[in-house]
Amino acid sequence: MKIADALRRLDAYPRTLEDFSVRTVSGAAVTLISSSIVLILIILEFWAYVTPHLTEELFVDTTRGHKLRINLDITMHNLACNYLSLDAMDSSGDQHLRVDHNVFKHRLDLQGNPLKKTEPIKEIVVVSPSNKNNSCGSCYGAEYNSTHCCNNCEAVLDAYRTKKWNVQLDKIEQCKDQYKRSDLDAFKEGCRIQGHLEVNRMAGSFHIAPGSSFSLRQFHIHDFQFADVKLSHTINHLSFGDKIEFAKTHPLDGLEVISEGDPKSEMYNYYLKIVPTVYVKANDGAPTYTNQFSVTRYKKDLSNKERGMPGVFFSYELSPLMVKYEEKQRSFGHFATNCCSIIGGVFTVAGIVAVFLNNSWEALQRKLEIGKLS
């Protein structure tokens, strides 16, 4: 019994006899309101517990070996596919990048609708001159192994038929003597350029311009007979990696640029600042490497004898810093602690409010009884 008596002295929650407890309407109202508040706060806390918490961290980019993937989907409204070239260059501007690419051009009418019964055209992106033996002709991406050579036009066409690709004969060196085109057809169609490039992680540029491209004495030249060209275009999509909805991985999507008035020689420049980004999802060990970017646009009118070449140009450079987004799951201990805090805090405040209301009501009744309420 002595042990039980000693334990009773440690009771921090002594029970009040029923005869000494008073139940009031105001106390009941406070109890209902506080219980509702506790229930709502616990539901919100549970929602925060099951929802991953996104953290953001900035540090120097030390990753190596990741290729820069350029996803593009651009519509040129007033130029046919056979008269457009997509070229990629490094930061020096006079040497082309070695790129892996999978780009197709889709023929459109002037209203932007796909032409029926036409196959997508496999685009030939200009790359660095090869050091291979010149006796082995290029198959322009359609070779089935590293030793496959296409030394004449028929060999290139056969390789493209095997891949089920549509070919641009004017860009095939082996077929140039067999194919002549009329520049008058350049403005009768539109073109949608769609696909991706994979380049090394370094500053560079790519552009879409009219005419066949080639290099002459370290100058990049496009062979096109018309000086004044309408370059109205829509950037349906442009990104440098996987798409993340909450990040700025695709700020140019849906941008439409319309060249007003008569056709004139114009140069559209997009300067892109790329920030490497890694996204780590909760309960998923594989991080997603992508890139965010900001953009500055500039249009140059070349009809005033300004230096430049008609086309749509994208110049990009990479930031040395990387942004890391990481989803973190809150611990159950954190959830339980917050729930206890909610229950204890709300009922403590509710008790204070109930005592205040009860004392105020009793004081008011006493004044009424002695007639001092005026």
Q: What is the pTM of this model?
A: 0.66
Per-residue confidence (pLDDT) for residue 94, from 0 to 100: 45
More reliable by pLDDT, 18 or 318: 318
**What percent of the chain is predicted at pLDDT more than 90?**
19
CB atoms within 10 A of CB 372: 8
Q: Specify the amino acid at residue 186.
A: A
pLDDT band at 130 (very low <50, low <70, confident <90, very high): very low
Please give the Cα distance from 110 to 118 (Å, whole number): 15
Average pLDDT over residues 327-352: 88
pLDDT band at 356 (very low <50, low <70, confident <90, very high): confident
Is residue 108 over pLDDT 50?
Answer: yes
Average pLDDT over residues 152-179: 68
Contact yes or no for 193/76 (Cβ under 8 A): yes
Is residue 110 over pLDDT 90?
Answer: no
| Range with the largest mean pLDDT of 103-117, 163-177, 200-214, 338-352 | 338-352
- Provide the 3-class DSSP secondary structure of residue 201: coil
Per-residue confidence (pLDDT) for residue 280, from 0 to 100: 87
Average pLDDT over residues 256-284: 85
Is residue 72 over pLDDT 60?
Answer: yes
Per-residue confidence (pLDDT) for residue 270, from 0 to 100: 95
Per-residue confidence (pLDDT) for residue 97, from 0 to 100: 46
Per-residue confidence (pLDDT) for residue 209, from 0 to 100: 86
Per-residue burial over 141-164, b if 16 or more Cβ lie within 10 Å, else e, is bbbeeeeeebeebebbbebbeeee
Is residue 99 over pLDDT 60?
Answer: no
Per-residue confidence (pLDDT) for residue 139, from 0 to 100: 80
Is residue 314 over pLDDT 90?
Answer: yes
Contact yes or no for 299/251 (Cβ under 8 A): no
List, in sequence order, every beta strand (DSSP E) within the chain.
Answer: 53-60, 68-76, 84-90, 100-108, 121-122, 190-199, 204-210, 212-216, 219-223, 233-239, 255-257, 266-280, 288-301, 311-318, 321-328
More reliable by pLDDT, 181 or 306: 306
Beta pairing class for 266-280 and 321-328:
parallel
Listed as own residue / partner, the contacts of 353-362 with beta carbons closer than 8 Å and 24 or more positions apart are 353/30, 354/26, 354/27, 354/30, 354/31, 357/26, 357/27, 357/30, 358/24, 358/26, 358/27, 361/24, 361/26
Listed as own residue / partner, the contacts of 364-368 with beta carbons closer than 8 Å and 24 or more positions apart are none
Average pLDDT over residues 7-32: 71
Tens-place pLDDT, residues 132-142: 445 677 787 77
333 Ramachandran zone, left/alpha/beta (phi>0; psi -120 to 50): alpha
Domain parsing of the chain, residue ranges: 3-51+330-370, 59-115+189-328
Per-residue confidence (pLDDT) for residue 92, from 0 to 100: 56
What kind of fold does domain 59-115+189-328 have according to CATH?
A: Acid-sensing ion channels like fold (2.60.470)
Per-residue confidence (pLDDT) for residue 74, from 0 to 100: 94
CB atoms within 10 A of CB 274: 18
Per-residue confidence (pLDDT) for residue 126, from 0 to 100: 55
- Tell me the two tokens of residue 355: 């005592």
Q: Specify the amino acid at residue 114.
A: P
DSSP codes of every residue in 270-288: EEEEEEEEEEE-TT--SPE
| Residue keyed to tokens 């029970």 | 15
